[in-house]
Structure 1
Amino acid sequence: MIRISQLKLSVNHSEEDLKKKAAKTLKLQPADIRRVTVVKQSVDARKKSSEVLFIYTVDVEVAKEDKVLHRVNSPNIAKAEKKEYQFPEPGTERLEHRPVIIGSGPAGLFCALMLARAGFGPIVFERGERVEERKRSVLQFWQGGELKSNSNVQFGEGGAGTFSDGKLNTLVKDPLMRNRKVLEVFVEFGADPSILYKNKPHIGTDVLSVIVKNMREEIIRLGGTFYFQSCVTDFRIKDGALKAITVNGSEEFETDVTVLAVGHSARDTFERLLERSVPIEKKAFAVGLRIQHPQRDINAAQYGAAEIEALGAADYKVTHQCANGRGVYSFCMCPGGYVVDASSEPGRLAVNGMSYHARDGVNANSALIVTVTPQDFPEDSPLAGIAYQRRLEEAAYQCGGGKIPVQLYRDFKKKRATTAFGDVAPAFEGRYAMANLRDFFPDTLSESLIEGVEAFNGRIAGFSRGDAILAGVESRTSSPVRIPRDERFESSIKGIYPCGEGAGYAGGITSAAMDGIKTAEAVAARFSVPT
């Protein structure tokens, strides 16, 4: 195969246009091309006033490849190198019990799938419901029903990413092809194959929930076991090693390998681990507010037109360094999406963003967040970041009377409560109430956000419009703790394998899934398959 990069075509091109372009680049006729496979597709919107383009990297199959390569001379043409992910061969240490995985978010599911395919028969404990039941519970909560503390936007099969935009891009370097493996697994279980080559792939919450169910069924088919509504409530540790876990406060399971893939909101689990002297460190994270703009305005600012069918809803990523030294940046941007009530504890309120696969909602939203460090936490405990989150969430709950507190940007700047929306129509999943977010959001962070929004307006026209809708609080951007692990991915407490976002080693669906794969590799390369 011959790889060609930097092929540029109009976004309205046909499949035949791509083939003709590849043939012309290789100085061939289209009939000489046997097959064109898209490796990467990105968007070039720098010349909005003239034309938005797709930029491709493609692999081309032709006869006499070496002859063709010899004839053409371009830095954008080379022989394609095929790399594939390789899972390690099983190790030799004996396992007395099947490996246990706590949590069925991306880290836990991918760890379980890889171990199941290697014959380890993992056991997965998930505090929440199966994804089908979980979706019903979340919808009932959004419509005013009771919050289920163990099955909500944060907890349940699929993890917090199930109710998000389902973005699959990551900045994690990938020399061993784990990122590619994650995408291939998603396609295997129901994702559109285009995620294999799009520069910013996404799935959407509606499709992701189907994929999660399909992955679970495959793990079970391969000998894995799932226990739902099964919260791990204690750890029996003896002589520096984990011997057993307790589920739902009563049932004990012996274990010699337990993967902690609990997610960033498993606060009770972190508390119990600390009580059992498992090392935990506090770390920096970020907090902020969600902002909503009309999606058509974001499209116009990014693409030069309110709607380009071939491109769909536009996204953005913005950052700003404030005069006070803090950084402000967009996070989990959801084109055509909704701001959702992502609470998981009674009397505390958190928000997140979510999009369906079609991204056809009227608004774009993203979190505008500011980094907070242990110096911002009054306490010195390893769990000080959790206490900081909880105080903000309690204040947000009170501010909105138990509903998502919302405020127009112009009112936020003037520290006054909002009484009516402007031209931006609200797009929420969950009940909301007009309020004054300045009543609970710290002044230092608020002023940083305002400075950031004004700066972002210079890059995205209309970003600082007065009727943009703010909502808060966005407090679950990443884990406020890290559970240290060694080069074998094991805690200093033997048998505990910290994994994924909750343990402080990931920051999104893809990186969490990749960390689940890495943890599975560590277990499989060390131990023999249980008999």
Structure 2
Amino acid sequence: MQKEIDLIIPPENIFNYEFIRNAAAKETRTNIEEITRVSIIKRSVDARRKNPVYRIKAVVFINENPAEETVNFDFKNVEKGKRVIIVGFGPAGMFAALRFFELGIKPIILERGKDVRSRRRDLRAIQQFGIVNPDSNYCFGEGGAGTYSDGKLYTRSTKRGDVKRILNLLVYHGAQSEILIDSHPHIGSNILPKVVSNIRETILKHGGEIHFNSRVTDFIIENSRIGGVIVNDEKEYIAEAVILAVGHSARDIYYLLDKKGILIESKPFALGVRIEHPQNLIDSIQYHSKKRHPNLPAASYSIACQVDDKGVYSFCMCPGGIIVPASTAPGELVLNGMSLSRRDSPFANSGLVVAVDEKDWEEYKKAGVFAGLEFQKSIEIAAFESGGKNQKAPAQRVIDFLKGRSSDSLPPTSYIPGAVSYDLNELFPERIKKSLREALLIFNKKMPGFISAEAQILAAETRTSSPVRIPRDRTTFRHLQIEGLYPAGEGAGYAGGIVSAAIDGEKIAEAIAGYLM
């Protein structure tokens, strides 16, 4: 017999199986000798009470030996299969490719950046020397932006597709099995590169192709149908369909689409700052204690409010993490956050961003569909110049930002290139800085201590999502004008994060299979 139960477990016993087994026996009113296994299927921290606890959902097996669960994927060899080009090797592109093997279609992947190992040299160059490689950085390269930014896997997109399948594919390729049960799963930037490498090996093993250092520079289009692409201005790749899974920072692709007369649209996005606190401060706020129990994870937060007509919210919160330079071109400064699997940095950081739309980029309306993108670029260029033109970040204590004055000194930061004091009120338009100031006061009421002398903001967090959408049909997923062209993932404006992008990639693969077969 099996019973599904809910249990409350104190942190000191969350890894004590016998304690959990005894608790299950009590909950099911069963003799402990009759319980053959307790399998945890969901685990979360409940910090609403004074003493935080774990809440777990478990299946209790009574006088029954459960069969071992195995998850297998029917990856076929596709050497002679129909061919589909995938532009971009981030989550959308990767998971589209994996799904193609189950559908008997050969993926040809073109990635402008490098493999994960080679990519590390360019990350070191931007961190230590301020040198930005436009094709290999924190956004571009094998695995996309997610590879080196924590690997958060929680999503609100559960209605879009099978989240558990995506998580199982990641575990199959080397991710820790805990991601299957944690309510806020993440992998960590120290483990993700190996997972990404393993996915690459699966693709190559089953007959797929992966070409690095391959920037798409043109499309081969005839009679409103795409037949292939041109790479690095010289080499042609021909296929029955093309997936554009380019990520939210591939501005050259947007410009190319517009140049070719292929429909794209501007869309709202969000921008603002990275806010950083000591992790022990966030722990004390969230866990109501000066010292976090070692079995509790580094505390996180998710906060949002409305200021006038603008949404302001935390974005990509990284407990126990670091801030990194995510610039994709010289002369700009873009920040992002990442953390390792243990999340053991002494800092907590998060994007703190304001929703922006055409009202905010009114002065750039002459740029047409690129008005929002030009506004985004203007903030990034201003941040670069304010920081000293070398990837150092302009920064300010939160208390000084609220008072409209530069900080005489800055607290320690995780940001390796370093920070310089600058009044960020000078960086943002009035509507945005007003929204940030008022939101900070609201957030401090929700989390007393959020505003403190130790809290600082660094600029600029601008790549929350793409400022451009590549429109597609809701049913076929094809571009509205070009047959055989399939926009996918964050870069097309249809996803936000690893899991939702992966789900989108799979749906695109299935749509293409129906189209080709």
* TM-score interval for Structure 1 and Structure 2 normalised by the shorter chain: over 0.9
Q: CA deviation at 1:250?
A: 1.3
Partner of 2:118: 133
**Identical counterparts, % of pairs:** 41
Q: Could you tell me how far apart the structure 2 residues matched to 1:300 and 1:366 are?
A: 17
Q: Could you tell me how far apart the structure 1 residues matched to 2:73 and 2:202 are?
A: 20
SS at match of 2:190: helix
Say if 2:216 is the partner of 1:232. yes
Q: Could you tell me how far apart the structure 1 residues matched to 2:209 and 2:94 are?
A: 12
Closer, same or farther in 2 for the Cα pair 1:391/1:371, shift >3 Å?
same
Q: CA deviation at 1:244?
A: 2.1
User: Would you identify which runs of 4 or more consecutive aligned residues in structure 1 move more than 3 Å?
Assistant: 82-89
Unaligned runs of 5+ in 2: none
Superposed counterparts of 1:294-443, under 5 Å = 294-305=278-289, 306-322=291-307, 324-378=308-362, 379=365, 381-402=368-389, 403-421=392-410, 424-443=411-430
Q: Could you tell me how far apart the structure 2 residues matched to 1:144 and 1:394 are?
A: 18
Give the aligned residue type for 2:490: E
SS at match of 2:36: strand
Unaligned runs of 5+ in 1: 66-81, 90-94
Partner of 1:4: 4
Give the counterpart of 1:446 among 420, 433, 453: 433
Closer, same or farther in 2 for the Cα pair 1:125/1:368, shift >3 Å?
same
Partner of 1:495: 484
Say if 2:43 is the partner of 1:41. yes
SS at match of 2:191: helix
Whether the aligned pair in 2 keeps the contact of 1:482 and 1:503 (CA below 8 Å) is yes
Say if 2:276 is the partner of 1:292. yes
Q: Which digits, 9 at most, give the CA deviation of each residue in 1:69-99, with x for residues without a partner?
A: xxxxxxxxxxxxx99999999xxxxx99511
Closer, same or farther in 2 for the Cα pair 1:388/1:327, shift >3 Å?
same
Q: CA deviation at 1:115?
A: 1.0
Q: Could you tell me how far apart the structure 1 residues matched to 2:154 and 2:130 are?
A: 34
Q: CA deviation at 1:145?
A: 4.7
Q: Could you tell me how far apart the structure 2 residues matched to 1:436 and 1:64 are?
A: 65
Q: Could you tell me how far apart the structure 2 residues matched to 1:158 and 1:523 are?
A: 22
Q: Could you tell me how far apart the structure 1 residues matched to 2:81 and 2:43 are?
A: 47
Give the aligned residue type for 1:248: N
Partner of 1:155: 140
Partner of 1:68: none
Whether the aligned pair in 1 keeps the contact of 2:322 and 2:414 (CA below 8 Å) is yes
SS at match of 1:340: strand
Q: Could you tell me how far apart the structure 2 residues matched to 1:243 and 1:156 are?
A: 25
Closer, same or farther in 2 for the Cα pair 1:87/1:515, shift >3 Å?
farther
Give the aligned residue type for 1:243: G
With 328-337 and 138-147 compared, the bigger mean Cα shift is at 138-147
Q: What RMSD, in angstroms, separates the aligned Cα atoms of the two structures? A: 2.3
Give the aligned residue type for 1:443: E
Partner of 2:202: 218
Partner of 1:173: 158
SS at match of 1:501: helix
Closer, same or farther in 2 for the Cα pair 1:227/1:123, shift >3 Å?
same
Q: CA deviation at 1:470?
A: 0.8
Q: Could you tell me how far apart the structure 2 residues matched to 1:175 and 1:99 are?
A: 23
Q: CA deviation at 1:64?
A: 7.4
Whether the aligned pair in 2 keeps the contact of 1:119 and 1:223 (CA below 8 Å) is no
Give the aligned residue type for 1:246: I
SS at match of 1:320: strand
Q: Could you tell me how far apart the structure 2 residues matched to 1:117 and 1:432 are?
A: 48
Superposed counterparts of 1:187-198, under 5 Å = 187-198=171-182
Partner of 2:189: 205
Q: CA deviation at 1:215?
A: 0.6
Whether the aligned pair in 1 keeps the contact of 2:283 and 2:292 (CA below 8 Å) is yes
Q: Which digits, 9 at most, give the CA deviation of each residue in 1:229-269, with x for residues without a partner?
A: 10001112111110221101111112221111000000010
Q: CA deviation at 1:52?
A: 1.5
Q: Which digits, 9 at most, give the CA deviation of each residue in 1:144-165, with x for residues without a partner?
A: 1521011001111111112212
Give the aligned residue type for 2:6: Q
TM-score w.r.t. structure 2 length?
Answer: 0.93
Whether the aligned pair in 1 keeps the contact of 2:75 and 2:102 (CA below 8 Å) is no
Q: CA deviation at 1:186?
A: 1.2
SS at match of 2:348: strand
Whether the aligned pair in 2 keeps the contact of 1:328 and 1:369 (CA below 8 Å) is yes
TM-score w.r.t. structure 1 length?
Answer: 0.90
Whether the aligned pair in 2 keeps the contact of 1:3 and 1:57 (CA below 8 Å) is no
Q: CA deviation at 1:205?
A: 1.1
Whether the aligned pair in 2 keeps the contact of 1:111 and 1:519 (CA below 8 Å) is yes
Whether the aligned pair in 2 keeps the contact of 1:315 and 1:335 (CA below 8 Å) is yes
SS at match of 1:286: strand
Partner of 1:60: 60
Closer, same or farther in 2 for the Cα pair 1:498/1:426, shift >3 Å?
same
Give the aligned residue type for 2:485: I
Q: Could you tell me how far apart the structure 2 residues matched to 1:215 and 1:171 are?
A: 25
Q: Which digits, 9 at most, give the CA deviation of each residue in 1:90-125, with x for residues without a partner?
A: xxxxx9951110001111111111213433221100
